Structure 1
């Protein structure tokens, strides 16, 4: 945000609570100076910024047999690469990563059954002109994960209709 406009979560919004423990609304302070503040109420139906990460489930099984931690690392690599690559040219990435809003990051980790599905999702994102990074693990040259740049949930969710949450 520019022009001295700062967003501050209310005191009751505790970052370590899970989403179903949080109240359905949240308040933010929009301050324009020490003495002038406006209280705004936003409900959870507003379109939040989210980052989608998709990892390949088949890497956990034969012939790869990767440990779960290694697969998680692939998703983390893709997520960091997406945020880093689009940090300067996409204001939504900047807003998603602001220190004050940092406790409000929303990330969805989905699983793709194989590389072909992961590539289909990447194609769909490209066609929809959604910024994303496909992570290729070296030296194996394996496409292991992808991550979108943070964006509005309503725009991003349409590209992942058949994928399940990673469990």
Structure 2
């Protein structure tokens, strides 16, 4: 039995915590990377299965601490032929996010398992999310 198909998205936490990017800008980075990788691998069997059941897509957003960590993950994925898209925000030319194409969870968990779920703290923001 094959494991659940999941899409992992790795987002730099320093963009919010240290560089002052807005939460909206971070969400946009994750959306860009996710959309781009789905388009690039749109003919892949797992991607097609993932998109065939839109109401049950499973996406996991993980936190990487900084640009160097993000680049290291991208290199490790490349070395192991794991399809992904490293999103580089333009015109700033800043790597911000990385999205794997949808994969059965058991095939890629070992590459991303050390990262925690992304948690944005809103303590300095007066906005209440409901």
1:46 CA displacement: 4.8
The answer as to 2:16 corresponding to 1:60 is yes
Q: Which residue number in structure 2 is paired with residue 159 of structure 1?
A: 111
The structure in which a higher percent of residues are helix is 2
Extract structure 1 runs of 4+ deviating beyond 4 A: none
The answer as to 2:54 corresponding to 1:114 is no
Q: Which residue number in structure 1 is paired with residue 123 of structure 2?
A: none
Larger radius of gyration: 1
Per-residue deviation, residues 104-144 of structure 1 (Å, max 9, x unmatched):
11100001000011011111111121100000000110000
The answer as to 2:98 corresponding to 1:146 is yes
The count of aligned residue pairs is: 119
Unaligned ranges ≥5, structure 1: 1-44
TM-score normalised per structure 1: 0.69
CA distance in structure 1 between the partners assigned to 2:106 and 2:17 by the alignment: 33
Q: Which has the higher contact order (CA 8 A, sep 6+)?
A: 2
The structure in which a higher percent of residues are strand is 1
TM-score normalised per structure 2: 0.87
Unaligned ranges ≥5, structure 2: 120-130
